[in-house]
Chains A and B, each alone.
Chain A
Amino acid sequence: MTGTAALAAQAHGTHTLAAQTQGFLSTSGVEIAFLLVGLVTLGAALVTVTTRQLVHAALWLVVTLGGLAVEYLLLTAEFIAWVQVLIYVGSVVVLLLFGLMLTKAPIGRSPDADSGNRYPALGVAGAAAVALVWVVADAFRTTWIELDGAPQGTTKVSGEFLFRNWVLPFEALSVLLLAALVGAVVLSRRKNAQAGEKR
């Protein structure tokens, strides 16, 4: 999803190159809102990985993903924002909650909801964050989106860029997903066949 947003942003950047006229943070209302929503999203993400209550973690994930959707909206990428809500909040989190409910999902703290790997995990997360921020900031340093004019992240624009300039990655991703789907079916069927033989 972030990849698509980046592509869209890049696409818009090509026809709104106006780096000289922009300050780094010219405090407009949208930028302040963007920053605040970003902070909320980051906070919710931190709570998601640190809370000891399993279902609460899933629900904080909803806040995190919803916050991301609002960020896309503020960048006028309306289509991507709604798809983010549809796929992640509407399906992925529901699947997650379904799985948690199957495992009883106790109310209150789970003392074993912790991992010995937490410091390596912190290291990996920190490194990934630094790398992403560095790469994205460097790549889009001179790219600005004009927020006041006509929206530049409409479905039409996103669709044209996706299916004219980026068809090959799109199709490759489709094949990858199809492979994952077939793999899941095969794995689940093999387990059933083994259980049948034992009986």
Chain B
Amino acid sequence: MSGTLDVVLRLVAVFAVFLVLPLAIGQTEHKVMAHMQGRLGPMYAGGFHGWAQLVADGVKFAQKEDIVPAGADRRIFQLAPAVALLPYLLVLVAIPVGPGNAVGQFIDAGIFFVLAVMGVGVLGSLMAGWASANKFSLLGGLRTAAQLMAYELPMLLTAASVAMAAGTVSLPGIVDAFHWWWVPWQIVGGLVFFTAGLAELQRPPFDMPVADSEIIFGAYTEYTGLRFALFLLSEYAGIVVLCGLTTVLFLGGWHGPFGADGLGWLWTLLKTLVLAFVVIWLRVTYPRLREDQLQKLAWTVLIPLALAQIALTGVVKVVIS
């Protein structure tokens, strides 16, 4: 019986993280973007620095009418937000936060699990783009698909490089095998992984699929109310997952200069949040890449870099063993 209780508690904890962290990052984005652009951001809702702005936004979204366009494919249109959001919840289950057994569910082939399930999330955007019966949505869907196909490969290759270095494909196993000198050794792979992940999430500067000046809001143009909010939430959940994964694979997860016992989860959280800050920072800093520049970056820069990283990993691995 205690086994069942243990599983339930773990899942509840993962679900709580899934509900809290994306919203926290959303609010951080409001404020960080505002301050980087020399303005205040939302200041009134809730009193102290507008902390309740996201709650107000949520209430607003819930009140809006849920509209399905007349020409749309009803069922797929309504299903798409769930397909976009749920994979990120599943991925969170497999990300280890601390040493020992501090993971939602231990998965033997963890790297493959997280990358596979993250890829499924993009199906939601494709379904939304097609089912909306709208040219802009269809174009957004097309761009999403093209972007996913280009950036999935470098992500997989760099993840494979870390797996080679650690000699295992389980996420806790990789963090267990981590040493500090892995950071310079795998730095190229880490940068490629993080960039490709940003592109897969369609975050700026890789937000061509939702470019508002060209195709309104891409695949999500026709969505209103809660379904639209779910798509936005899936973007923030995606940031949490990407930053968590980069932390676990390339930055040593719970390892830190001190306090490794007991406070390991704090290191994981800290690194994840710093990376999330970088994601927001990049959004404010860089202009949007054009579609051909996007494809060129993936195929002519990231993939060769990822292959070079794999070669380097192999050579170093042979030399030190």
Contact = CB atoms under 8 A, between A and B. Distances in A.
Do A and B actually bind? yes
Interface of A: 55-56, 59, 62, 78-79, 82-83, 85-86, 89-91, 93-95, 97-98, 100-102, 105, 107-108, 151, 154-155
A94 B145 contact: yes
Contacts of B138: 101
Nearest to B75: A56
A59 B83 CA distance: 12
Interface string B115-132: 111011011001101110
Nearest to A106: B133
B120 A155 contact: no
Nearest to B139: A101
Contacts of B270: none
A155 B108 contact: yes
Nearest to A91: B152
A101 B112 contact: no
Interface of B: 71-73, 76, 107-109, 112-113, 115-117, 119-120, 122-123, 126-127, 129-131, 133, 138, 141-142, 145-146, 148-149, 152, 156, 169-170
A97 B116 contact: no
Nearest to B71: A107
B112 A82 contact: yes
A136 to B, nearest CB: 24
A168 B129 CA distance: 43
Contacts of A55: 73, 76, 130-131
B112 A89 contact: no
Contact of A107 (B72, B119, B141): B72
B145 A101 contact: yes
Contacts of A108: 73
B238 to A, nearest CB: 15
A81 to B, nearest CB: 8
Given A79-B109, A82-B109, A90 B120 contact: yes
A147 to B, nearest CB: 15
B129 A101 contact: yes
Contacts of B107: 78
Contacts of A62: 123
Nearest to A83: B112
B73 A107 contact: yes
A38 B221 CA distance: 38
Contacts of A82: 109, 112-113, 116
A89 B109 CA distance: 17
B112 A93 contact: no
Q: Which of B126, B129, B141, B169 has the most CB of A within 10 A?
A: B126
B142 A102 contact: yes
Contact of B112 (A86, A91, A154): A86
B144 to A, nearest CB: 9
B149 A79 contact: no
B147 to A, nearest CB: 10
Contacts of B145: 94-95, 97-98, 101
Contacts of A79: 108-109, 112, 169
A85 B76 contact: no
A86 B115 contact: yes
B123 A89 contact: yes
A154 B115 CA distance: 18
A62 to B, nearest CB: 7
13 contacts: A55-B73, A78-B109, A82-B109, A83-B112, A86-B156, A89-B116, A89-B120, A90-B152, A94-B123, A94-B149, A98-B146, A105-B130, A108-B73
Q: Which of B112, B129, B131 has the most CB of A within 10 A?
A: B112
Contact of B133 (A90, A95, A98, A107): A107
3 tightest CB-CB pairs across the interface, nearest first?
Answer: A90-B119, A86-B116, A82-B112
A19 to B, nearest CB: 28
B169 A107 contact: no
A85 B116 contact: yes
Contacts of B131: 55, 107
Nearest to B74: A107
A101 B117 contact: no
Contact of A94 (B76, B109, B115, B122): B122
Given A79-B112, A94-B122, A155-B108, 7 more contacts: A86-B156, A91-B149, A94-B119, A97-B145, A101-B126, A101-B141, A155-B169
Contacts of B115: 86, 90
A94 B120 CA distance: 9
A95 B152 CA distance: 12
